[in-house]
Structure formats: structure tokens, C-alpha cells
Amino acid sequence: MKTLKRHGSIACGIDFGTSNTTIAIAQGNDEQITLVPVEDEHLTIPSTIFFPTETPTVVFGRKAIKAHIAQEDGRFMRSFKRVLGTSLMKEGTHISGRKTKFENIIGHFIEDIKNKAELLADREIQHVVAGRPVHFVDGNDKADKEAEGQLEAIFASAGFKNIRFQYEPIAAAFAHELTMGDTERLAVVMDIGGGTSDFTIMKLSERYITKQDRQEDILANAGVRVGGNDFDRALSMKCFMPLLGLGSLWGSKGLGFPITPFFDLSELSKIQYMYTQKYKRDLKELISQSNDKILTRRLLSIVEEEQGHTLMSVVEETKIHLSSSEQTTADLSFIEADLQAHIDRTQFEDSLYGNLESIQKTVNDCIVMAGVNADDVALVILTGGGTAIPLIQKITRRIFPYAEIADSNRLSSVGFGLACDAKRYYLG
């Protein structure tokens, strides 16, 4: 990896996402912002981590996913950002039989990102603007403040001396502002990531870039803890879990099979807890009273073989395919020979109904808070992987009928914008 030329002071912006993470470097003078290749040539890295059982070397990103799919012996984790502000932060988890705190798990990941940026910069980076959702936790200000405090402590432990937070949608707006020209435009940023959907309404113009204080330009922020992981869970429950027994009958009275194991298997943060001996034993007992053991034995097999994350990777891939195709076939032969799921876009969109209601309500609340009319919005900036879903784009055009839609650099605009903010704040 070639190193950057040194130009004055240095700072960075880190978009630590539920699904993907980016980091960008800002230097003094007139140097451009530089996105860091964080995994080989990739400018994004999946927010995943793998702890091998036999070696102390921790593996990150695509390599972690590959190790898990290859069923190497160890502990695989993803979407750990969603643990911030919850009771799990205090409870921790077991890795190779040892109790491990989540701040250490997240810390490993942040240190790896920081080291890669410093390798490119050929020097230490002490200043960071870190992205954060509008709400880590919905409707709980105390938990929200705790989550930010936990993340700040993790960044400090990773070696950052000066840490500042910025809302992720505002950062995306800063990135877009660089190419806008001098005309002021009323803009809405829709950031639909893996864990949250966040929205900002603000006034943008290239001539505002050098302003030290942008508060007067920011009219409103709103967010809800709904994102790509929730879309995956909804798709899983509607189209995949019925193949494992969801909706089948249970017991002598013909009751519905309990929903809990299907929900746990569709929620990334809960999958690992299904692999305890007690959970496996209880599930086996539950399935012994199933009226459709052909289906429910598939469920037991996934849990006993610890293939839950493999299944959810297939669900995620199906979601991505259905964003560009009307139908797709998911290969589930790792569960049972020749097993497939044939899914069309209509089924996927039907599964999203409740989640999209929450997102639309939050957008409308943001418009009201800003004191503007939706028809006055001239620009909508789409960022985050969730904005690639055609139905979300359709809803966006319906809410903002006269706005230009900008949707390039969905996965890197927040990190780039955070570095823009770092440059303004730390480097003048």
C-alpha cells in the first residue's frame, strides 16, 4: 500500500456501521479527502469479526465471513453496533469459553480500521469525527447517551485523543455539498443503513463549506431504529422460516409451533445465543412434539450445526438480488440437498410493510419539525444500502415529488462527509 504525502495536520472520519464501515483521511492545506482501502482494494469493510479457536489472530470483514462459511472453528459476530446502549453491553458474551466484554469486541474492530488508516498516512491519527445515528435506542434518551459514551470510550481505548460525533445523515450532506455550486438548495438526507434509518433536512450550498458553525442550516433531524437487518428479519420470517416449520402445528392440541426460535434465528444479534447446549436441548425437546418433523428437523439441524449466520447471509443476498430483479432463487442446499426458496419482489415488499410504515412516519415527522413543505424540497440524498430497495425509492419520490434524487456513493458518502467535518473542525 502506498502512503500519502504529508501535508500539515491530519484527522479522520469513521463511519462505523451496523453492516459496513468506512474511514476517510483529511489533511491540512488544500489536500483532498482520501477514502482508505480497508480490506484489500475495497473502500468498505463488512462490520464482522471472527475469533479463531486455535489462534489469537482476530479476523475482520470479508475474511471473517469466509472463515465462518468455511465452518472454521471459532466465534463469528456481526451487527455488534446494535449492542450499544443495551443490557448486552454489560452482560458481555463468551468467546472460546471466556467471558468477553462487547467494548473489547468492538474495540478490536475499531483498532483494525485505525491501523489501516495510519498505515496509509504513515503516521498516527489522533483526531476523529465519528458517525452516529440520530437515535442509538428509540425513545430512551438515557440509553442513547450511554451508547454514545460507550462508543466514545471505545474510540479512546483505540488511541484517539480527540473524539467528536456527527449525525450520519448530516455527514452525507457534507459530502454531497462539495459538488453543488453556489446556489442554496433545501435538501433531505435519507440514510437507511443496517441498524437505523436517519433523516436530516438542511440547507446546502458549496459556499457554506467553510462555515465553522452549521447549526442554522440544519432544520431538523429524526431517526428510527429500523434498517437493513430488520428488512432481512422480515424477509426471513415471511419466506424462509416457513421452510423450517414456522406456521406448522405443535402438540396434541394442534397449537401453532412456538415462534421464538424462528424469530431468534432471524435476528443477527440473537443467533449466537442459540448455540448453547441448553438452547439446543430445549429446542430438541420442543421439536419432539412437532406435527411436521420434516420441516422442524431442518430448524434443529441449522442450530445444531451452527449455521444460523450462513442462513442469514443467504437472506441478505436474496434481499440484494430482489432490489435489482423481480424474482430470485435462494440455494439452501447447505440445510438439505436440493432445498431452494423461490421468492419474488412482491413477497419481499409485502414483508416490509410494518418497517416502511415506521420509516414513512419518521420522514413526515422530520418535515413537520423542520417547518417546511415536502414540495419545497429540491434535493433528496439517498445513502445507506437500504435506499437501493425499489419500494423505498418509490416512496421517496411520492413524498418529495419535485426533488432531484441523488443516490451515488451510497456506502461511502457518510465516511467521506465525516472526514469533511473533521477537516473543518480540527484543521480549520
CATH (domain of 48): 3.30.420.40
| 164 and 264 fall within a common domain | no
pLDDT in tens, 355-382: 999 999 999 999 999 999 999 999 999 9
**Within a domain: 201:** no
Q: Minimal CA–CA distance to 411: which of 134, 11, 38, 110?
A: 38
Q: Are 176 and 152 in contact (CB under 8 A)?
A: no
In a domain, 109, yes or no: yes
Answer whether 15's CB lies under 8 Å from 21's CB: yes
Q: Does 336 share its domain with 268?
A: yes
Tell me if 190 is assigned to some domain.
Answer: no
How confident is the model over 111-133, as a mean pLDDT? 96
Tell me the mean pLDDT in the region 174-190. Answer: 89
Same domain as 171, residue 39? yes
> Is the same domain home to 171 and 22?
yes
Same domain for 235 and 164, yes or no, is: no
Regarding whether 234 and 131 lie in a shared domain, the answer is: no
Retrieve residue 149's grid coordinates.
Answer: 459514551
Cβ atoms within 10 Å of 101's Cβ, excluding its own? 13
Identity at 380, one-letter amino acid code: V
Entry pTM? 0.88
Q: Is residue 35 part of a domain?
A: yes
Q: Which of 27, 24, 67, 77 is nearest to 47 (CA)?
A: 77
pLDDT at residue 3, as a whole number: 65
What residues are paired with 331 via a beta bridge? 340
- Separation CA 123–CA 146 (nearest Å): 31
- Are the C-beta atoms of residues 50 and 68 closer than 8 Å to each other? yes
Q: Which of 328, 351, 374 is at the close of a domain?
A: 351
pLDDT higher than threshold 70 for residue 1:
no
Residue 357 lies in a domain: no
- Residues 417 and 317 grouped into a single domain: no
> Cα dist. 211→6, 10, 152, 248, 425 in Å?
25, 19, 26, 61, 10
How many domains is the chain built from? 2
Regarding whether 46 and 149 lie in a shared domain, the answer is yes
Are 241 and 154 in a shared domain?
A: no
Q: At which of 303, 326, 351 does a domain end? A: 351
Burial 197-223 (b: 16+ CB within 10 A, else e): bbbbbbebbeebeeeeebeebbbbbbb
Tens of pLDDT, residues 216-266? 999 999 999 999 999 999 999 999 999 999 999 998 888 999 999 999 999
C-alpha torsion sign, points 134, 140, 142, 147:
negative
C-alpha cell, 187? 435538501
Residues 178 and 234 in one domain: no
Residue at a domain's end among 307, 329, 351: 351
Rounded to whole angstroms, the Cα distance separating 37 from 121 reads 12
Residue with the larger pLDDT of the pair 306 and 329: 329
- Choose among 319, 312, 314, 315: nearest CA to 386: 319
Q: What is the mean pLDDT of residues 102-120?
A: 96
Mean pLDDT of the chain: 92
3-state secondary structure of 236: helix
229-261 b/e (C-beta count within 10 Å ≥ 16 → b): bbbbbbbbbbbbbebbbbebebeeeeeebeeeb
Q: Is residue 327 part of a domain?
A: yes
Whether 265 and 330 map to the same domain: the answer is yes
Examine the pLDDT at 2 and tell me if it is beyond 80: no
Residue type, 351: S
Decide if 224 is inside a domain. Answer: no
Looking at the chain, the whole-number percentage of residues with pLDDT higher than 90 is 76
Which pLDDT score is estimated for 5? Answer: 63
- CA distance linking residue 335 with residue 34, whole number of Å: 43
For the chain, percent of residues with pLDDT exceeding 70: 98
Q: Residue 71's domain spans which residues?
A: 10-182+409-426
SS3 136: coil
Query: Does residue 170 sit in the same domain as residue 72?
Result: yes
Does residue 368 sit within a domain?
A: no
